Amino acid sequence: MIQIYHQEIGDMWYAVALENERVLATAFSPNEGKAIEYLLEHLPYNKPFMVAEEPNPSSMNLLKTLRMIFDGKEVSYKFDTDMDYLSQYSQKVLQCTSLITIGYFTTYGAISKIVGGSPRAVGRALASNPFSLLIPCHRVARADFTIGGCSFGEKTKMELLQREDRGYEEPMKLKVYGGILPVFPIKYLKR
Protein backbone atom coordinates (compact mmCIF):
# COMPACT_ATOMS: atom_id res chain seq x y z
CA MET A 1 0.00 0.00 0.00
CA ILE A 2 1.17 3.51 -0.78
CA GLN A 3 2.05 5.48 2.34
CA ILE A 4 1.67 9.27 2.19
CA TYR A 5 3.54 11.53 4.56
CA HIS A 6 3.57 15.30 4.74
CA GLN A 7 5.21 17.80 7.00
CA GLU A 8 5.76 21.50 7.31
CA ILE A 9 9.46 22.34 7.36
CA GLY A 10 10.21 26.02 7.66
CA ASP A 11 7.53 27.88 5.74
CA MET A 12 6.86 25.12 3.19
CA TRP A 13 4.83 21.92 3.18
CA TYR A 14 6.46 18.81 1.69
CA ALA A 15 4.60 15.63 0.82
CA VAL A 16 5.89 12.22 -0.25
CA ALA A 17 4.32 8.96 -1.36
CA LEU A 18 6.26 5.72 -0.85
CA GLU A 19 5.54 2.08 -1.44
CA ASN A 20 8.04 -0.46 -0.15
CA GLU A 21 10.76 2.21 0.10
CA ARG A 22 10.20 3.29 -3.53
CA VAL A 23 9.21 6.90 -4.19
CA LEU A 24 6.01 7.26 -6.23
CA ALA A 25 5.57 11.04 -5.94
CA THR A 26 6.76 14.14 -4.14
CA ALA A 27 5.31 17.64 -3.80
CA PHE A 28 5.85 20.97 -2.11
CA SER A 29 3.79 24.09 -1.53
CA PRO A 30 3.43 26.87 1.03
CA ASN A 31 -0.14 25.53 1.39
CA GLU A 32 -0.67 22.12 3.00
CA GLY A 33 -3.75 21.33 0.93
CA LYS A 34 -2.06 22.17 -2.37
CA ALA A 35 0.95 19.98 -1.54
CA ILE A 36 -1.35 17.02 -0.81
CA GLU A 37 -3.52 17.74 -3.87
CA TYR A 38 -0.50 17.81 -6.20
CA LEU A 39 0.81 14.58 -4.69
CA LEU A 40 -2.52 12.79 -5.06
CA GLU A 41 -2.89 13.94 -8.68
CA HIS A 42 0.43 12.27 -9.51
CA LEU A 43 -0.10 8.89 -7.88
CA PRO A 44 -0.70 5.81 -10.02
CA TYR A 45 -4.39 5.11 -10.61
CA ASN A 46 -6.22 2.29 -8.87
CA LYS A 47 -3.65 1.75 -6.12
CA PRO A 48 -4.72 2.01 -2.50
CA PHE A 49 -3.04 4.58 -0.30
CA MET A 50 -3.19 5.85 3.24
CA VAL A 51 -2.01 9.00 4.94
CA ALA A 52 0.33 7.98 7.74
CA GLU A 53 0.21 9.73 11.09
CA GLU A 54 3.98 9.80 11.57
CA PRO A 55 6.79 9.59 9.01
CA ASN A 56 9.06 6.58 9.10
CA PRO A 57 12.87 7.01 8.78
CA SER A 58 12.79 6.69 4.96
CA SER A 59 10.04 9.24 4.49
CA MET A 60 11.65 11.59 7.02
CA ASN A 61 14.93 11.41 5.10
CA LEU A 62 13.08 12.14 1.85
CA LEU A 63 11.15 15.07 3.37
CA LYS A 64 14.41 16.60 4.68
CA THR A 65 16.10 16.02 1.31
CA LEU A 66 13.29 17.87 -0.49
CA ARG A 67 13.82 20.79 1.88
CA MET A 68 17.57 20.77 1.17
CA ILE A 69 16.90 20.81 -2.59
CA PHE A 70 14.37 23.64 -2.12
CA ASP A 71 17.03 25.58 -0.20
CA GLY A 72 19.50 25.13 -3.08
CA LYS A 73 21.77 22.69 -1.27
CA GLU A 74 23.52 19.82 -2.99
CA VAL A 75 22.34 16.37 -2.05
CA SER A 76 24.15 13.16 -2.79
CA TYR A 77 21.56 10.70 -1.52
CA LYS A 78 19.74 8.85 -4.31
CA PHE A 79 16.19 7.60 -3.92
CA ASP A 80 14.59 4.71 -5.76
CA THR A 81 11.88 6.34 -7.86
CA ASP A 82 9.09 4.14 -9.19
CA MET A 83 8.38 5.24 -12.76
CA ASP A 84 6.73 2.01 -13.88
CA TYR A 85 3.32 3.68 -14.11
CA LEU A 86 4.61 6.40 -16.47
CA SER A 87 4.92 6.17 -20.24
CA GLN A 88 8.28 5.08 -21.64
CA TYR A 89 8.70 8.57 -23.11
CA SER A 90 8.05 10.31 -19.79
CA GLN A 91 10.50 7.96 -18.11
CA LYS A 92 13.23 8.87 -20.61
CA VAL A 93 12.54 12.61 -20.22
CA LEU A 94 12.64 12.38 -16.43
CA GLN A 95 15.76 10.21 -16.39
CA CYS A 96 17.53 12.68 -18.69
CA THR A 97 16.37 15.64 -16.58
CA SER A 98 17.61 13.97 -13.40
CA LEU A 99 21.18 14.24 -14.74
CA ILE A 100 21.21 18.05 -14.92
CA THR A 101 23.78 19.21 -12.39
CA ILE A 102 22.94 21.78 -9.74
CA GLY A 103 23.99 25.26 -10.87
CA TYR A 104 23.09 24.50 -14.50
CA PHE A 105 20.03 24.32 -16.73
CA THR A 106 19.23 23.04 -20.20
CA THR A 107 16.42 23.55 -22.69
CA TYR A 108 13.35 21.57 -23.68
CA GLY A 109 14.78 21.35 -27.20
CA ALA A 110 18.12 19.98 -26.01
CA ILE A 111 16.34 17.22 -24.10
CA SER A 112 14.15 16.44 -27.11
CA LYS A 113 17.27 15.93 -29.24
CA ILE A 114 18.41 13.28 -26.77
CA VAL A 115 15.13 11.45 -26.07
CA GLY A 116 13.19 12.16 -29.27
CA GLY A 117 9.93 13.97 -29.73
CA SER A 118 9.49 17.72 -29.77
CA PRO A 119 10.37 20.39 -27.21
CA ARG A 120 6.63 20.68 -26.55
CA ALA A 121 6.42 16.93 -25.83
CA VAL A 122 9.29 17.29 -23.36
CA GLY A 123 7.47 20.20 -21.73
CA ARG A 124 4.30 18.11 -21.36
CA ALA A 125 6.26 15.25 -19.80
CA LEU A 126 7.94 17.63 -17.36
CA ALA A 127 4.63 19.35 -16.54
CA SER A 128 3.44 16.01 -15.18
CA ASN A 129 6.65 15.24 -13.29
CA PRO A 130 5.49 13.34 -10.19
CA PHE A 131 8.88 13.84 -8.51
CA SER A 132 8.97 17.61 -8.02
CA LEU A 133 12.32 18.80 -6.66
CA LEU A 134 13.68 15.24 -6.63
CA ILE A 135 13.83 15.28 -10.45
CA PRO A 136 14.76 18.89 -11.19
CA CYS A 137 12.34 19.90 -13.95
CA HIS A 138 12.92 23.46 -12.72
CA ARG A 139 16.35 23.23 -14.42
CA VAL A 140 14.79 23.20 -17.90
CA ALA A 141 14.12 26.46 -19.79
CA ARG A 142 12.97 27.63 -23.21
CA ALA A 143 15.31 27.72 -26.22
CA ASP A 144 15.72 31.51 -25.85
CA PHE A 145 16.90 30.94 -22.24
CA THR A 146 13.77 32.45 -20.70
CA ILE A 147 12.46 30.63 -17.66
CA GLY A 148 9.52 28.71 -19.14
CA GLY A 149 6.58 27.24 -17.28
CA CYS A 150 6.42 25.38 -14.02
CA SER A 151 3.62 23.66 -12.13
CA PHE A 152 4.49 25.76 -9.10
CA GLY A 153 4.80 29.04 -11.02
CA GLU A 154 7.57 30.86 -12.83
CA LYS A 155 8.44 32.92 -9.75
CA THR A 156 9.06 29.77 -7.67
CA LYS A 157 11.06 28.25 -10.54
CA MET A 158 13.31 31.31 -10.73
CA GLU A 159 13.76 31.37 -6.95
CA LEU A 160 14.82 27.72 -6.97
CA LEU A 161 17.35 28.37 -9.73
CA GLN A 162 18.74 31.45 -7.99
CA ARG A 163 19.30 29.43 -4.81
CA GLU A 164 21.09 26.79 -6.88
CA ASP A 165 23.34 29.28 -8.69
CA ARG A 166 26.96 28.39 -7.98
CA GLY A 167 28.50 31.15 -10.05
CA TYR A 168 29.62 28.82 -12.83
CA GLU A 169 30.90 30.61 -15.91
CA GLU A 170 31.14 28.02 -18.68
CA PRO A 171 28.61 25.63 -20.23
CA MET A 172 29.19 21.89 -19.96
CA LYS A 173 28.26 18.87 -22.06
CA LEU A 174 26.81 15.75 -20.47
CA LYS A 175 26.83 12.35 -22.16
CA VAL A 176 23.27 11.04 -22.04
CA TYR A 177 21.80 8.06 -23.93
CA GLY A 178 24.68 8.15 -26.42
CA GLY A 179 24.11 11.85 -27.15
CA ILE A 180 25.40 15.13 -25.78
CA LEU A 181 23.19 17.29 -23.56
CA PRO A 182 24.43 20.88 -23.30
CA VAL A 183 23.89 22.51 -19.90
CA PHE A 184 24.39 26.19 -19.14
CA PRO A 185 25.25 28.14 -15.99
CA ILE A 186 22.22 29.71 -14.35
CA LYS A 187 23.65 33.15 -15.03
CA TYR A 188 22.81 32.56 -18.73
CA LEU A 189 19.07 32.67 -17.96
CA LYS A 190 17.22 35.75 -19.16
CA ARG A 191 15.36 37.33 -16.29
Q: What is the pLDDT of residues 64-80, one digit of tens each?
A: 999 999 999 999 878 99
Task: Say if CB 2 and CB 49 are below 8 A apart.
Answer: yes
Q: Are residues 62 and 140 in the same domain?
A: no
Q: Are residues 94 and 56 in the same domain?
A: no
Q: How confident is the model at residue 37 (pLDDT cuts 50, 70, 90)?
A: very high
Q: What is the pLDDT of residue 161?
A: 96
Q: What is the DSSP letter of 120?
A: H
User: Among residues 96, 137, 160, 183, which one is catalytic?
Assistant: 137
Is 150 in the active site? no
Q: Are residues 97 and 177 in the same domain?
A: yes
Q: Are residues 60 and 129 in the same domain?
A: no
Q: How confident is the model at residue 149 (pLDDT cuts 50, 70, 90)?
A: confident
Where is the domain boundary, 13, 44, 70? 70
Q: What is the pLDDT of residues 94-144, one digit of tens each?
A: 999 999 999 999 999 999 999 999 999 999 999 999 999 999 999 999 999
pLDDT over 80 (residue 151) = no
> How far is it, in rounded angstroms, from Cα 111 to Cα 11?
33
Number of compact structural domains in the chain: 2
CATH classification at residue 111 = 1.10.10.10
Q: For residue 138, give every residue at least 6 positions away whose Cβ sits within 8 Å of its Cβ, in sequence order, or none.
A: 150, 156, 157, 160, 161
Domain that holds residue 136: 88-188
Size of the chain in residues: 191
